[in-house]
Structure 1
Amino acid sequence: MVLIILLILSQDASFNASIHKLILPSVPCINMSKMRDVYLHTNCLAALANMAPHVHRLSSYASQCLVSLFDLLSRKYAKLAELKNDKMQINDSELKDDDKLPEDTSAELHIYTDFLRIVMEILNAILTYALPRNPEVIYAIMHRQEVFQPFRNHPRFNELLENIFSVLDFFNSRMDAQKLDGEWSVEKVLQVINTNCRFWRGDGMKMFTQLRFTCEQESHPEEFFIPYVWQLLISCSGFRFNPSSINLFPVELPVEISTLMHLFPKYLEFMVH
């Protein structure tokens, strides 16, 4: 439900413009790399893609996470592509749990191909429509530019990567032109990026149609929402209903705690903890 709400909000231009004016002191990190939930990842990427053209002053942490996400997806994609192309026969028992071969390698490879393309679309949207406002994104791409090289001539990704490499060529040349005493630091690199953002004109950049992900309603949404809303009402409102009379969704009949404590004290203690 939260993902659906975020996706709907991300379709609104005024929301995207105002949300980037907020500065959060900290953001809890959620590691979803081990979760194999296509719906979850697709909706998260869809919301990011809708918001990408409006990104303003993305933090260094968020910028690095975005590039790291591309790296993570690219390594998984490369592994699946190798398995498919070479038709390797590997005994599952010899692999670690995280490296188990999927039942349908081709289907999973297709999923990761779509994920990679969406991340490239997100980066493209930021660089095309919001580059001067996001020096940290430029720094993150420059810092990890080697992760984009393997896909430069890929037929599914090369047109998107052309824009990324146009940005890299521009700022790399500005870096090479700098006469520097001593070693480069993060602050010095960002200073060069900020200075040259003012001279960026976007020459040679291809303009792609902005991605617009929408939330499609099922043909009979009431089959989910009516039981869902009533379940929330019963569990949170404090109103009393006779559980044995509810047929809309399954309800566990309440049991007196005193009875449970008397009959199953150890079991109840385990359940509470």
Structure 2
Amino acid sequence: MCLIAFAWQAHPRWRLLLAGNRDEFHARPSAALARWNDSVVIGGRDLEAGGTWLGVTDAGRCCVVTNVRDPRDPQLGASRGLLATDYLAGAADATAHAQALQADAAGYRPFNLLTFDEAAAFYLGNRPVPKAQAVMAGVYGLSNADFNTPWPKTRALMGHVEHWLAAHGEGDDFAPLFAALADEHRAPDQQLPDTGVGLERERWLSSAFIRGELYGTRASTVVALGHDGRGVIVERRFGPNGREEGETAMSFGEG
């Protein structure tokens, strides 16, 4: 994933409400949202490295991973996507997992990781050093920088999530969230971060939805996990230049 906003323990029906976009090279092979036949994971699948960028389980877990945008970083180490599948299929709860991962986090490519279970949520990262932070109730955002770094598109998506929480009460109409994920508005130059990729690329990457021939938004996903243990995950997929390639919606949970 490259853009995420989520609400944790901030809604009367949904324990977790998460909306995010996965940006990736279109040539990188991946499978659509599905129940994996060799794992408890429900999610899309990276067919190159075998992991996932976002997944859930019937046991009420959710995990999502982003990279860290820094062209100076050599990107060495184990695949980030394996972090998500290891957590989702593992026995450790979110708290124990966070404590254990800090010892091994440096061995992975640059990552940000969000983990959720029935009782706790954590942000974990490994740049510039391994770190773990418990997430309290509220609305948060994450992109290709540290947790809650106020990039314009991250702040904007957080605002849309906050508006959805206020406007939809007990509802499950996710259309406004998908509309926010489809926003192609670019931030003014004075608000752009400087991550070392140059001004033109910073402009292009500043929108929630990135349209491109070789690289761009591959999937938009909404996850809603209820206090009763039941949930829904919806994925919309896109090809080169934003071409629509289908939608999958799945219910899950053991409520």
Higher helix share: 1
TM-score of the superposed pair, with normalisation by structure 1 = 0.28
Computing the radius of gyration from Cα coordinates, the structure with the larger value is 1
* TM-score, normalization by structure 2: 0.29
* Greater strand fraction, Structure 1 or Structure 2: 2
